[in-house]
């Protein structure tokens, strides 16, 4: 992966005059977004672009109007008073031309779009477009000259990542390690699945728990031929291991936010409180303390991602489970069914 990161960033700079677009494609959970994010951070330090590197997450249900708004926001441009898409595109185009040299990264593109609708002309000098998508056809429709397929990790590299995320210095008993390797193998080389599964099993050395994890993965994977669907049972297992219904409710609530949206910690906790997702406490401070504990736990098991926004405040966003809405819907249905069983029993 490190080599891929270096190659993409170098290619954007080295072939500045000839290369307009790069497509990064591959199955869900394989690491496209992670790679693109590292490339974004690397290019931010390049003097060539003067910090004009923009990240846009494209939702599955995107519209040109929303995409224009998202791009305008990254450019600190207000187009809210203009409804006509062509006029909005013209304003975006003018803002881009003033930048002279810039990189626009579209993450998670599901369908091809005409770049003219977002203010970019193919004849425009100084721009680079990087997209991530599950589909090579989408990359081609966006006229990307260089399309890079991200493959699942080889078994040896997948195991190294699994052990790393399980905890540095951890030593599993030999029998437990054999089962752990089988569990890691069930992740099919998908970094997202590996990281989440390892996070769920962090600190577990008992062979019985590992066997139980393996059986749950087998059962939830029955009848699934598509490698992408390997991620669903991993998410399901990680969700079940939360044990605490309050934690599960908080995670499901987070999944209601739009893809890629970063939510400030204090705002998220306030929502947990107002929606009565947690236990009642005697004071507001005690309720916020409980909320902080919830978010820390979800981050520690790799179900939520923590970051800082431009104001240096802690924000959270859902990991790449939005890649498969079916996974989240399955969790909602399962949670509702389990709640009904508890009420009736």
User: pLDDT tens for residues 131-181?
Assistant: 998 888 888 888 888 899 888 899 999 999 999 988 866 788 899 999 999
- How many alpha carbons fall within 13 Å on the CB side of residue 241? 26
What per-residue confidence (pLDDT) applies to 254?
85
Q: What is the pLDDT of residue 85?
A: 94
User: How many CB atoms within 10 Å of residue 328?
Assistant: 20
Residues 179-230: tens digit of each pLDDT: 999 999 888 888 888 888 898 888 888 999 999 989 887 776 544 444 445 5
Overall CATH class of domain 245-344: mainly alpha
Contact (Cβ atoms closer than 8 angstroms) between residue 295 and residue 304: yes
pLDDT of residue 220: 66
DSSP category for residue 64: H
List the one residue out of 229, 26, 8 whose CA is nearest residue 135. Answer: 26
Mean residue pLDDT of the chain comes to: 82
Give yes or no for a contact between 121 and 2, defined as CB atoms under 8 angstroms apart: no
Q: What is the CATH number of domain 2-149?
A: 3.40.50.300
* Alpha-helix residue ranges (DSSP H) falling in the chain: 2-14, 32-44, 64-74, 85-99, 136-141, 155-166, 174-185, 191-201, 207-221, 231-240, 245-254, 265-274, 284-300, 325-344
Give the per-residue pLDDT at 227: 41
**pLDDT tens by residue, 95-137:** 998 988 899 999 988 888 888 998 888 778 788 899 998 888 8
| pLDDT of the residue at 322 | 42
Closest to 26 measured CA to CA, from 184, 189, 183, 161: 189
| Confidence category of residue 334, pLDDT binned at 50, 70, 90 | low
Please report which helix (H) or strand (E) contains residue 288, including its range: helix 284-300
Q: Is residue 297 scored above 60 in pLDDT?
A: yes
Res. 340 pLDDT band, cuts 50 70 90: low
Sheet with 314-318, edge to edge strand ranges:
263-264, 314-318, 304-308
DSSP state, 117?
Answer: G
Coil/strand/helix, residue 71:
helix
Query: Residue 224: its pLDDT value, please?
Result: 44
pLDDT band at 18 (very low <50, low <70, confident <90, very high): low
For the chain, the domains span 2-149, 155-240, 245-344
Q: Does residue 333 carry a pLDDT above 90? A: no
Q: Which residue has the tokens 């054999």?
A: 178
Rounded to the nearest 10 degrees, the angle between the axes of helix 64-74 and helix 85-99 is 30
**pTM of the predicted model as reported, rounded to 2 decimal places:** 0.69
Answer with the residue of higher pLDDT: 316 or 286. 286
Rounded Cα distance between 8 and 15, Å, is 10
The sign one gets for the Cα dihedral 100, 56, 312, 47 is negative
Question: pLDDT value at position 225?
Answer: 42
* Tokens 């409980």, located at residue: 290
Token representation of residue 106: 């579209």
């Amino acid at each position: 992966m490190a080599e891929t990161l270096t190659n993409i960033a170098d290619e954007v700079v080295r072939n500045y005059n000839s290369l307009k677009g790069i497509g990064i494609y591959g199955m869900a959970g394989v690491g496209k977004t992670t790679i693109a994010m590292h490339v974004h951070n690397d290019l931010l330090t390049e003097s060539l672009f003067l910090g004009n590197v923009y990240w846009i997450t494209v939702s599955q249900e995107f519209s040109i109007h929303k995409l224009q708004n998202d791009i305008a926001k990254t450019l600190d441009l207000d187009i809210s008073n203009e409804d006509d898409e062509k006029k909005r595109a013209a304003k975006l185009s003018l803002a881009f031309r003033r930048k002279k040299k810039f990189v626009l990264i579209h993450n998670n593109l599901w369908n091809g779009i005409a770049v003219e609708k977002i203010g970019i002309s193919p004849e425009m000098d100084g721009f680079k477009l990087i997209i991530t998508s599950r589909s090579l056809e989408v990359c081609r429709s966006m006229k990307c000259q260089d399309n890079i397929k991200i493959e699942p990790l080889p078994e040896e590299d997948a195991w190294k990542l699994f052990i790393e995320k399980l905890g540095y210095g951890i030593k599993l008993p030999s029998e437990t390690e054999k089962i752990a390797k089988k569990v890691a193998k069930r992740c099919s080389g998908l970094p997202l699945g590996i990281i989440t599964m390892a996070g769920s099993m962090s600190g577990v050395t008992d062979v019985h728990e590992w066997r139980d994890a393996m059986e749950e993965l087998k059962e939830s994977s029955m009848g699934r031929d598509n490698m992408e669907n390997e991620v669903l049972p991993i998410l399901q297992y990680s969700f079940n291991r939360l044990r605490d219904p309050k934690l599960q409710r908080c995670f499901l609530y987070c999944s209601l936010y739009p893809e890629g949206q970063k939510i400030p910690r204090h705002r998220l906790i306030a929502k947990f409180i107002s929606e009565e997702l947690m236990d009642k406490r005697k004071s507001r401070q005690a309720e916020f303390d409980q909320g902080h504990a919830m978010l820390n736990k979800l981050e520690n098991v790799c179900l939520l991602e923590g970051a800082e926004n431009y104001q240096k405040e802690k924000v959270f966003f859902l990991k790449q489970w939005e890649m498969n809405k079916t996974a989240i819907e399955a969790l909602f249905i399962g949670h509702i069914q389990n709640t009904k069983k508890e009420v009736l029993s």
